[in-house]
Chains A and B, each alone.
Chain A
Amino acid sequence: MITSRCGIIKYTIMSEKQSLNLTLKVWRQKGPKDKGQFETYNVSNISPDSSFLEMMDVLNEQLISEGKEPIAFDHDCREGICGMCSLFINGHAHGPDEDITTCQLHMRKFNTGDTITIEPWRSAGFPVIKDLIVDRRAFDKIMAAGGFVSVNTGGVPDGNAIPIPKDDADEAMDAASCIGCGACVASCKNGSAMLFVSAKVSQLALLPQGRVEAARRAKNMVAKMDELGFGNCTNTAACEAQCPKNVSIANIARLNREFLCATLKD
């Protein structure tokens, strides 16, 4: 019964929900040194079934036809996994929906007549390159400082040689689902990268393969994070709330434990 009722509701909504007319306040910035400012644009006849980025495509086509420069924004896979898209929409990283990336946000979340504010990630660790595009290479540098298991290709044991409890493997998988988008940093009032770093530290510390160098990894990654100008964690959990992949702040607790143990051993 529930099935058919939901079905009816859905069909009614779909047939009644009309295309959208929207006002967009978009951050424009020519380059890293430009001050930047908001520009206001209008778009009309947007299908509620379009994705947010498809709406941006429509706006850009409009700008090109008017002889103006389109808005630069990062995007690639458009299916929520590459971590490239990174818009701050109406004050939320990835916009007003839960557990999604910007590219998975759909226009049915908005109403006609809405004004939508679109900004880049804002954080000391992520300088703006142009318009809505920021430089997230700091994440790569943190990874290069220790986000790996030190094994060379070949000469490793059989995949089934070390049994791993299913719960540990599943927990490691949950931590590993981080897409490196940076929403955690953008949402944190301190601009902290702790959720990102802790996800990798946790994933590898939970598995016997990564356990061997867990202490070294935690120390090196944290040191690099600090060096690159990311802030500290003050447990507001804003990162977890905005994480498109639901990475838990329990990972931060694990990172703190790993880091503490590593420092005590010194």
Chain B
Amino acid sequence: MATLENKIPEGQLAQKWQHYKSHQKLVNPANKRKLDVIIVGSGLAGGAAAAALGELGFNVKCFAYQDSPRRAHSIAAQGGINAAKNYQNDGDSIFRLFYDTVKGGDYRAREANVYRLAEVSNSIIDQCVAQGVPFARDYGGLLDNRSFGGAQVSRTFYAKGQTGQQLLLGAYSALSRQIGKGTVKMYTRTEMMDIVVVDGKCRGIVSRDLVTGKLEAHFGHAVVIATGGYGNVFFLSTNAMGSNGSAAWKAYKKGAYFANPCYVQIHPTCIPVHGEFQSKLTLMSESLRNDGRIWAPKRKEDAEAIRAGKLKPEDIPDENRDFYLERRYPAFGNLVPRDVASRAAKERCDAGYGVESGEAVYLDFKYAIERLGRDVVEARYGNLFQMYEKITDQNPYQTPMMIYPAIHYTMGGIWVDYELQTTIPGLFAAGEANFSDHGANRLGASALMQGLADGYFVLPYTLQNYLADELHTPRMNVNEGEFAKTLGDVNSHIEKLMSIKGTKSVDYFHKKLGKVMWDKVGMARNAQGLKEAIEEIAQIRKEFWADVRIPGEANEMNPELEKANRVADFLELGELMARDALVREESCGGHFREEHQTEEGEAKRDDVNFAYVGAWEYKGDNATPELHKEALVFEECKLVQRNYK
């Protein structure tokens, strides 16, 4: 059994990372090219890591299921990236960014990791500027900032409403440069099917070519999983259609612990669901909360009239509008953290004040247009407004936007130590795929920061520390031993799926799972519902393996088979999420247990019993997984109930 040794370096919090870097092992330039690194995923974490490791001279193989590394879902992040530059002279510092992140995460993150994240945040901005990322600038030519939820300073750097795109294209261009030089070999339309473990160490992966269906084993002295989050377990989410949890799940089933699976972020400002054939949800950037005011009708009869199509929101006078965030949280107002804003919207809608289908509230720019003029609003948010109008056929300059919370990000993920190494030596996890930096709730503009921090500035050091001891491990023959065995196992798994030849499509099961997850493992959870969810998911899983229909063949391009592989894993992962949520008898961040709330309906944490990372160990298909606890020790942050009032 692996142990949960988090390997936090000695010394004062602010000196730990320096201390680590000063004492770690290095690999000399001539030896680097003898060492192979496999990186699964090409988003901000994976793409940045592949580029940075290629630059150092390691021999890198990078895998993506899309047709190009530039398509990874990091590209969809809109609002911005945080850094502690303090260019605004508004009191920001590394310590404050660290503190805000720990507090925003509801004190469920590891202090040392978060401090390192804040520490390298400034280098990320410098790096991206050097790559030619066109960040927004002021007339003096210097970088501009905006504010995001959970912070009282302006520390968010942005490139219009397309920050994720620009940062990813920056990483992609750095990666392209290495591909051109031959240090990185890129495998597109290729999906990781399993990892290969030899004598307790991760030594490679088995992949499937999504064009030909061919399975192939690859050797690596180390493997990095940077495949993003598992939000699509809910079927409807802001994730891309292909985003999946399979790489992380396969690692879990080979012995990597899975940490805090129940921590899911529900983003408060998404376009509401419109109908049963909806395939995904679209996010409206958090940056809109800088200038938009969120409200619901104050009077139930107004909400009813709007739902019946008899009243329009712009005809409701101000005194009959309930700006519920400003009312409940005067200090932070519309800029409270995401979990708080989401629950407040749900509270209003559950109480009968929702509009449209009953599951929507307003995000109104009338006041911003009055205050700043339409031109300024258009310059700031024009592309987001256009996107909204294309989807809903409504003009947000004239009528308020409708929004509702949706699944957006998963804070949980593969357990990693300070070096981003999992409980399987040689297997690392980066970006959203790991659990490490955001605790129970991620602050806006911190996902981009973490992905790039892990990829550009953490893994190149920690991976090297591991690889220094692997110099004498020869490259292994991938046609024999564990490689051949794992490839055979993957092949059997696919054959088993193809041979079911049932009557229902993959999506049928995915939607069914998603509904259970949303209703019972979603924004508000209780013991009864979670127990039911565990039973129901097991039932859907049984039905899936008896009745799924996958047309076509395994040895060709087969998108239904790709989906089936991913949904088979979601059907197991969903159960673990429910189990984790059931055990965590407290409310913290995105995890809200109805049994644990204050009289005012705020989340009630239990630091005495639950200030730990819950890391689950796989024990076999028919056995209950085992929970291991990594105690969270807070030396710098004082644990207090979060207060945004």
Interface residues of A (CB under 8 A from B): 2-4, 6-7, 10-11, 13-15, 31, 47, 49-51, 53-54, 57-58, 61, 63-65, 67-70, 72, 74-84, 97, 99-100, 104, 106, 108, 129-130, 133, 135-137, 139-140, 143-154, 156-160, 162-166, 169-170, 172-173, 176-177, 179-180, 203-204, 207, 209-210
Contact = CB atoms under 8 A, between A and B. Distances in A.
B140 interface: yes
Contact of B130 (A7, A49, A151, A164): A151
Contacts of A163: 137, 140-142
B180 A106 contact: no
A143 B176 contact: yes
A159 B143 contact: yes
Contacts of A152: 55
A78 B240 contact: yes
Given A49-B275, A159-B126, A159-B129, 13 more contacts: A72-B559, A79-B76, A79-B280, A84-B67, A99-B386, A147-B176, A148-B174, A148-B176, A149-B131, A159-B143, A160-B87, A173-B134, A209-B132
Contacts of A139: 68
17 contacts: A15-B309, A54-B278, A76-B240, A77-B241, A79-B280, A104-B387, A136-B67, A140-B179, A151-B174, A153-B55, A153-B456, A153-B460, A163-B137, A169-B136, A173-B134, A177-B165, A207-B134
A130 B557 contact: yes
Contact of A76 (B69, B73, B186): B73
Contacts, number: 240
B67 A149 contact: no
Which of A65, A77, A147, A163 counts the most chain B CB atoms within 10 A? A77
B123 interface: yes
A58 B505 CA distance: 11
A255 B387 CA distance: 30
A6 B395 contact: yes
A47 B277 contact: yes
A140 B241 CA distance: 22
Contacts of B6: none
Interface string B556-579: 110110000000000000000000
A4 B312 CA distance: 8
B55 A156 contact: no
Which of B73, B75, B129, B139 counts the most chain A CB atoms within 10 A? B129
A166 B143 contact: no
Contact of B67 (A10, A57, A81, A135): A135
B413 to A, nearest CB: 21
Contacts of A153: 48, 51-52, 55, 127, 174, 456-457, 460
10 closest Cβ pairs, A-B complex: A163-B141, A144-B180, A156-B130, A148-B173, A173-B134, A172-B134, A143-B176, A159-B129, A76-B240, A153-B52
Interface string B119-135: 00001011111111011
B641 interface: no
Interface residues of B, number: 89
A151 B131 contact: yes
B1 interface: no
B52 A61 contact: no
Contacts of B143: 159-160
A200 to B, nearest CB: 8
Contact of A58 (B277, B309, B557): B277
B627 to A, nearest CB: 35
Contacts of A57: 277, 279, 507
Given A77-B76, A160-B87, A173-B159, A150 B66 contact: no
A207 B137 CA distance: 12
Nearest to A135: B67
Contact of A140 (B87, B176, B393): B176
Contact of A147 (B69, B173, B549, B556): B173
Contacts of A147: 173, 176
B387 A79 contact: yes
B398 interface: yes
Contacts of B125: 159
Contact of A7 (B242, B279, B399): B399
Nearest to A171: B134
B211 interface: yes
Given A65-B505, A159-B129, A177-B165, A82 B73 contact: yes
